Structures are given as C-alpha cells and as structure tokens.
Amino acid sequence: MNTRLVKVLCMILCTAFFIAFFPVLFKINAAESYTALKYEKGGMEFFDRTVYESYKKNNQLPTLPRGGAVPFSIKKGTNTYYLNYRLFTQKNFVVYGSFKSVAGNYFKCGYQLHNDLDNKMPEIEYDGGYFLKPEGISCKGKEQNPETHGDKCKTNRGEWKYLGFDVNGEVFSNMWMINVATETTFRERNWIKEPWSKNNEVKKVLTLSTSTYNNAAYNDSLQL
C-alpha cells in the first residue's frame, strides 16, 4: 500500500479517536481537578493579620468597587467574621467565616459539576466532595443514589449549602452542592452587573428576561 495513503488513514483514525473520546477525558479531568481540592487540607482556615497584610502589600487581594482591598474581616450583627484563607487560596472566593458560621446550613453527600452552562442538569458525582462529612449527618434530597447511598451516606465527602458570607454579609451559596431544584441554566439566569449599586435595586426581582451580561461574563465558556 502507498506509504502516503497509510499516513493519511492513520491520521484520520487518530482524529476520529480523539473526537470520540475527548468529552470523556474532559469530564474525567474536570472531576479529578475538583476532587483534588480538600477544605481541611487548605492550610490555616482564616487569614491572620500578618498574612493578610502581606497579601495586601503585594496586591494579591481583590479590589472593592469603591476602591481598596477586600477587608480583613466583616461585622454581622454582634459577630465578627474573618476572610477565609482556604476558600481564597483554593477557589479564589472572597468568603468570610465558613460553613459553620451560617445558621441552618446543611450538608449533602457528593457534588455537581457545571461542565455545560446550557445544561439544566449538571454532571452529578455521588462519591466525593470538597468537605468532609460531619459525624451523624444523613443525606438529604433526591440525590440519594441506591448504589452509593443508603439510609445514611456511604461516602465521607460532600458539600455544604452555604460557604459563609460575602463582603456585604450575605450568605455565599455553594454552586457545587447537588441542587435537585435547578430549573434554569447559569446562562438563563438574570445576572446583574454590580448588584451592590443602589442604581440596580430595581433589578433585584425575578424576571423572564436574560441579562445582557451573561455571555460577556462567561465569554461563551466556563470560567467560574
């Protein structure tokens, strides 16, 4: 057989193989990269003053809309919550306090991956998660899988509903927690630019329209 023809056929077969198996490889890599993160192994739980000032001096902290770096701590009622070091260094989240700070917070075994922003049903994994399962916690909701779940969780990891508080003292939701009530995709939601601005107060209501900031924010790709 002609050597050139053999090379062409090999190239076609390799391309077909790559196209067929790339989605599977992508899914595996996405899951592995997420499960590599473990809250309890993220170092100190909260910034201390010395580390915070070092990050601030080296411009390693996000800047607030009104200027200046995110604060070392926030006050909510009579409580003081400190910037969470683990969530910032592992996930780039500005969260104050932790899952233990939010009253009524609850836990689910497993986690979900948003590989496709247009998919109303994200990929759900029942074995694993960012957090260790607390003693005595039972799984809640329809996410219980007969193969991995019984009356109690058989896995030892999962997700909390809330991670803590944002810089404004509002609860910080965990998008990796299995959410059986998802009815809209992330693209379909009415995202609001600068929700802290008083000019956007009127927009903080449920609407049927999709924000024009959706595609710009995601740039037609998953960047969370």
Which residues does 31 contact at the CB level (< 8 Å), separation at least 6?
113, 123, 125, 128
- pLDDT tens string 68-85: 999 999 999 999 999 999
Residues in the chain: 224
**Residue 20 CB-half CA count within 13 A:** 6
Our CA angle for 108, 109, 115, nearest 5°, is 95
Give the number of other CB atoms < 10 A from CB of residue 61. Answer: 19
Phi-psi region of 164 (alpha: psi -120 to 50; beta: other; left: phi over 0): left
- pLDDT tens string 179-205: 755 455 555 555 665 666 666 555 545
Q: What is the 3-state secondary structure (H, E, C) of 151-203?
A: CCECCCEEEECEEEECCCCCEEECCCCCCCCCCCCCCCCCCCCCCCCHHHHHH
Q: Where are the domains of the chain?
A: 19-183, 184-224
pLDDT of residue 17: 46
196 or 108: which leads in pLDDT: 108
- pLDDT tens string 145-186: 555 555 566 678 899 999 999 999 999 999 888 875 545 555
pLDDT-derived band at 144, boundaries 50, 70, 90: low
* Contact (CB, 8 A) for 113 and 28: no
Any alpha helices (H) in the chain, and if so which ranges?
A: 3-35, 49-57, 85-91, 213-218
Give the number of other CB atoms < 10 A from CB of residue 16. Answer: 10
Query: At residue 97, does pLDDT exceed 50?
Result: yes
